């Protein structure tokens, strides 16, 4: 594990956990520097919620250790850890006012009424709810209740705040607003957030780093741009975002050949050997559709296809095409700069992309088990 120059808020060291004889997490290691916003993403059943519950003390690991602010808390119960959790269900006390909900944690710690209400008032101001302190939770919208739950979790000033799908019950527009609010609050406080979600757009939009989980382990940990642009393997490349896929074979000369024609890719997985099947991956925003012509069809990364769909998505245009052999391609580009704005279904085109946009990996045939089911 690479040592961070910042103090470590959370560390998992060789953590393993099984349920009913089935291993859910195996050899999990992670360091989260203080003040970082880390998002953990992965398909359903990948172990991300179990990892969060182990950090929070709701589950005990079978192997390994958990460290919070430099202290080994593996055997410390949840209520004595310097960690708070925000769940998808807000779990606010319906009989208490908003300000009393927020002040509940300090009250349980014996903080005086004046001090805890002052703190609760400051937190309500932070989440922009200072004018609703006397209301009951059922008098608030879903987004407001979520902010109250966040303020309550922050009232004890935990070293780490765990957020388990906290925005899952909100509609899209409200989710986007709350994403901005969460990031603002985390930045203003300099707090450590560990955010569990299956919504990749949400994770990419908020987190400093992402940890991508699969089969109880981390496939890749890094900043959002690195994970999107330079995934470590085909599984991660296909799990994160959309991708066009071309099956090819690596030749003795290091060139890639496909049924569509030659493929040029600047990145070729070092695990690939001559004769190995490869999966070439190109993001839709790096893929271009050109009107068919002799000039457009010559050279590598030039494949004949026909437009099957053209959809305007706000400022973007999504074009889909299929080759004679049935291989589908997608291109996404800005409408204002689009050369393909006048392409319609049935038009003959050439699919093309630059070599630097293509990455060739070992073909693990993983694409059928990528997306989370919920």
Sort residue 299 into left (φ over 0), alpha (ψ -120 to 50) or beta.
Answer: left
Q: Name the pTM for this structure.
A: 0.85
Rounded Cα distance, 36 and 102, in Å: 24
- Rg of the chain (C-alpha set): 25
What's the distance, CA 42 to chain centroid?
7
Angle at 87 between CA 83 and CA 92, to 5 degrees: 95
Helix (H) / strand (E) element for 350: namely: strand 348-352
Contact at 8 Å (CB) between 137 and 90? yes
Two domains, one topology: 8-229 and 245-363? no
Contact at 8 Å (CB) between 209 and 222? yes
DSSP summary character for residue 234:
H
Distances from the Cα of 303 to the Cα of 125, 128, 292, 293, angstroms:
57, 53, 10, 11
Contact at 8 Å (CB) between 158 and 106? no
**Topology adopted by domain 245-363:** OB fold (Dihydrolipoamide Acetyltransferase, E2P) (2.40.50)
Listing from the earlier edge strand, what are the strands of the sheet with 302-313?
288-291, 348-352, 302-313, 316-322, 328-334
Residue-level pLDDT at 214: 93
Rounded Cα distance, 53 and 51, in Å: 5
The residues spanned by each domain of the chain are 8-229, 245-363
Rounded Cα distance, 100 and 107, in Å: 9
Task: Name residues whose C-beta falls within 8 Å of residue 201's C-beta, 6 or more positions apart in sequence.
Answer: none
Rounded Cα distance, 359 and 272, in Å: 12
Residue-level pLDDT at 364: 72
CATH number for 8-229 (one of 3.40.50.300, 1.10.10.10, 3.40.50.10260, 2.60.40.10): it is 3.40.50.300
Tens-of-pLDDT digits for all 374 residues of the chain?
A: 444 456 999 999 999 999 988 999 999 999 999 999 999 999 988 999 999 999 999 999 999 999 999 999 999 999 899 999 887 777 888 999 999 999 988 888 888 899 989 989 988 988 888 898 899 989 988 888 888 888 888 888 889 999 988 777 677 777 788 788 888 888 988 889 999 988 888 899 899 999 999 999 999 999 999 999 999 999 999 999 899 999 999 998 889 999 999 999 999 999 889 999 999 999 999 999 988 887 666 778 999 999 999 888 778 889 999 999 999 999 998 776 555 457 889 999 999 999 999 999 988 754 444 443 33
């Amino acid at each position: 594990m690479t040592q961070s120059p910042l103090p470590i808020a959370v560390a998992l060291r060789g953590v393993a956990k099984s349920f009913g004889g089935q291993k859910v997490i195996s050899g999990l290691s992670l360091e989260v520097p203080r003040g970082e916003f880390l998002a953990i993403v992965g398909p359903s059943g990948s172990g991300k919620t179990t990892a969060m519950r182990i950090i929070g003390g709701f589950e005990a690991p079978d192997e390994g250790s958990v460290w919070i602010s430099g202290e080994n808390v593996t055997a410390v119960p949840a209520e004595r850890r310097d960690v708070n959790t925000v769940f998808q269900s807000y779990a606010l006390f319906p009989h208490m006012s908003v300000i009393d909900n927020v002040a509940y944690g300090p009250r349980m710690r014996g903080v005086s009424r004046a001090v805890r209400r002052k703190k609760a008032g400051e937190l309500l101001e932070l989440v922009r709810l200072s004018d609703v302190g006397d209301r009951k939770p059922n008098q608030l919208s879903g987004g407001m209740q979520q902010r109250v739950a966040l303020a309550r979790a922050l009232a004890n000033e935990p070293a780490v705040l765990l957020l388990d799908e906290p925005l899952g019950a909100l509609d899209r527009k409200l989710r986007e607003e709350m994403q901005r609010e969460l990031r603002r609050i985390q930045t203003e406080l300099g707090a450590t957030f560990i955010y569990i979600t299956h919504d990749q757009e949400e994770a990419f939009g908020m987190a400093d780093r992402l940890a991508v989980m699969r089969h109880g382990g981390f496939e890749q940990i890094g900043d959002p741009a690195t994970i999107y642009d330079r995934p470590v393997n085909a599984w991660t490349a296909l799990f994160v975002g959309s991708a066009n896929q071309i099956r090819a074979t690596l030749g003795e000369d290091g060139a890639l050949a496909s049924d569509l024609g030659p493929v040029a890719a600047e990145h070729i997985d070092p695990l690939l050997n001559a004769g190995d099947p490869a999966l070439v991956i190109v993001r839709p925003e790096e893929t271009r559709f050109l009107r068919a012509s002799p000039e457009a069809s010559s050279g590598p990364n030039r494949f004949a296809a026909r437009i099957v769909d053209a959809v305007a998505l706000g400022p973007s245009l999504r074009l889909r095409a299929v080759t004679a052999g049935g291989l589908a391609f997608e291109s996404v580009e800005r409408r204002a700069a689009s050369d393909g704005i006048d392409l319609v279904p049935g038009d003959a085109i050439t699919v093309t992309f630059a070599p630097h946009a293509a990455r060739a990996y070992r073909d693990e045939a993983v694409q059928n088990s990528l997306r989370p089911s919920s």
